[in-house]
């Protein structure tokens, strides 16, 4: 195992009706004026937004609101939030929604805390943040894990670049997690979320060193749990126990727990998908499902023991005559699982067919975003990235 630092300071308030505590919690964390940030109309139609505002009013906490966050959240909305927050003098930000809303709130907080600097510089890797306003979330979609993570991803819709910035100062103060709030999601969105949860764990699992038995056991148990309950929700979307299992798994998958002791993870699939999201605006989890099988087939020989362990311990396949056969059976079992929950396993099933020119542009942008290379299972360079995109067609 390798040395590691584990830092997960977010307070989690989990269960039915927990969103009613938002006023008390905002007071507890010193909020005097809150920017409530949300996405489309679902939080309005469900009455959740009104309940949140009423709870803040009852606690005497002033608030303003900004809706309109879209999947693959846009830099323009972040800039709008920064301007609003400056005008209104907000000192606390509350995301009501899923990972896109939480990521947008994080970016707005960076911008408000350092108003003399361009927030996009963080995502371009030009500097690191020095300050951050406190944020929290009321989670409505189990997927990104942003409610307890140090990460956020923003899309510059003008340039088509989708970029991440990770910094522990962005960890939310608290996360309110009521599984019932995710019951109205369409099945496609639920399953894309389950895929994202699994990939956050798998990115940390397929590594070349530092693996700990306890970390592997936690990761494998989490993955088996998501596989089980994703299929339950596919047929029974209002199953509270399944929603709860998936929602908690989403946080555990991306708060750093499943990477303790290893080399930091692979994350090539995520970086490849970010390029697809930036160019084609695809659903993040579905994009991950579409690219992972091709990535796996491209790299498995370089990380064979991990793929064998995954096949047997997670996917439950019978060992083949060789380790290579076992690994391939595991990849095929993963593809079968994706199809069972309605997820794509290639770009054609995702609904896009990049041209060769677009593939080269995707690979060039990915290489630029990663500083030239990415990966642990196998280090990928620009030509490898292009090859994986071609395999995924």
Last residue of a domain, one of 181, 201, 225: 181
Predicted pLDDT of residue 286: 98
Does the reported pTM lie above 0.85?
Answer: yes
Confidence at residue 41, expressed as pLDDT on a 0 to 100 scale:
82
- Residues 345, 238 within the same domain: yes
Residues of the chain predicted below pLDDT 70: none
Do the beta carbons of residue 104 and residue 154 sit within 8 Å?
yes
Choose the final residue of a domain: 134, 156, 181.
181
Q: What angle do CA 91, 93, 99 make, to 5 degrees?
A: 160
Tens of pLDDT, residue by residue over 146-190, are 999 999 999 999 999 999 999 999 999 999 999 999 999 999 999
Domain at 157, CATH number: 3.40.50.1970
Cβ contacts of 200 within 8 Å, gap of 6 or more:
145, 253, 254, 258
pLDDT of residue 263: 92
Specify the pLDDT at position 353.
97
Nearest to 136 by CA among 125, 145, 148: 148
The domain boundary residue, chosen from 129, 160, 181: 181
With H, G, I as helix, E, B as strand and everything else as coil, classify residue 134.
coil
3-class SS of residue 72:
coil
Structural contact between residues 386 and 359, judged by C-beta atoms closer than 8 angstroms = yes
Summarised one tens digit per residue, pLDDT across range 214-224 is: 999 999 999 99
pLDDT reported for residue 157: 94
3-class DSSP state of 97: strand
- 4 within domain boundaries: no
Domain membership of residue 381 as a residue range: 185-391
CATH of the domain at 312: 1.20.1090.10
pLDDT at position 40: 82
pLDDT at 371: 95
Shared-domain flag, residues 130 and 42: yes
CB neighbour list of residue 390: distance below 8 Å, 6 or more residues apart:
359
Give, in order, the Cα–Cα distances in Å from 112 to each of 97, 104, 131, 135: 21, 12, 9, 12
Tokens of 53: 């505002």
Question: Does one domain contain both 49 and 76?
Answer: yes
Shared-domain flag, residues 105 and 53: yes
Pairwise CA distance, residues 93 & 138, whole Å: 11
Residue with tokens 């030509």: 383
Instruction: Report the pLDDT value the prediction gives residue 209, as an integer from 0 to 100.
Output: 86
Residue 264 in domain: yes
């Amino acid at each position: 195992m390798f040395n590691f630092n584990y830092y997960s300071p977010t307070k989690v308030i989990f269960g039915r009706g927990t969103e009613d505590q938002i006023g008390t919690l905002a007071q507890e964390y010193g909020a005097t004026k809150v920017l409530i940030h949300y996405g489309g109309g679902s939080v309005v139609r469900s009455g959740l937004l009104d309940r949140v505002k009423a709870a803040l009013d009852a606690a005497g906490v002033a608030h303003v609101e900004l809706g309109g966050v879209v999947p693959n959240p846009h830099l323009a909305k972040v800039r709008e939030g920064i301007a609003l927050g400056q005008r209104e003098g907000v000192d606390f930000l509350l995301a009501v929604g899923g990972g896109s809303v939480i990521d947008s709130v994080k970016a707005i907080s960076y911008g408000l805390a350092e108003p003399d600097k361009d927030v996009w510089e963080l995502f371009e890797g030009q500097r690191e943040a020095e300050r951050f306003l406190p944020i929290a979330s009321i989670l409505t979609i189990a997927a990104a894990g942003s409610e307890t993570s140090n990460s956020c991803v923003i899309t510059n819709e003008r340039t088509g670049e989708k970029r991440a910035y990770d910094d522990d100062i962005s960890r939310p103060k608290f996360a309110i997690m009521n599984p019932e709030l995710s019951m109205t999601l369409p099945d496609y969105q639920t399953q894309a979320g389950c895929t994202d949860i699994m990939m956050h764990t798998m990115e940390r699992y397929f590594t070349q060193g530092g693996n700990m038995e306890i970390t592997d056991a936690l990761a494998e148990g989490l993955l088996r749990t998501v596989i089980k309950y994703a299929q339950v929700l596919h047929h029974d979307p209002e199953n509270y126990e399944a929603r709860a299992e998936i929602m908690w798994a989403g946080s555990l998958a991306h708060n750093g727990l499943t990477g303790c002791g290893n080399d930091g993870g692979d994350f090539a699939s995520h970086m490849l998908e970010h390029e697809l999201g930036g160019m084609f605006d695809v659903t993040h989890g579905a994009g991950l499902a579409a690219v992972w099988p091709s990535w796996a087939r491209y790299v498995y020989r370089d990380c064979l023991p991990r793929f064998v362990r995954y096949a047997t311990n997670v996917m439950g396949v019978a060992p083949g005559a060789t380790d290579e056969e076992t690994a391939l059976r595991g990849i095929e079992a993963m593809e079968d699982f994706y199809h069972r929950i309605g997820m794509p396993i290639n770009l054609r099933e995702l609904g896009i067919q990049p041209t060769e020119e677009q593939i080269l542009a995707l690979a060039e942008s990915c290489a630029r975003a990663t500083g030239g290379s990415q990966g642990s299972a196998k280090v990928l360079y620009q030509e490898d990235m292009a090859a994986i995109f071609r395999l995924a067609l």
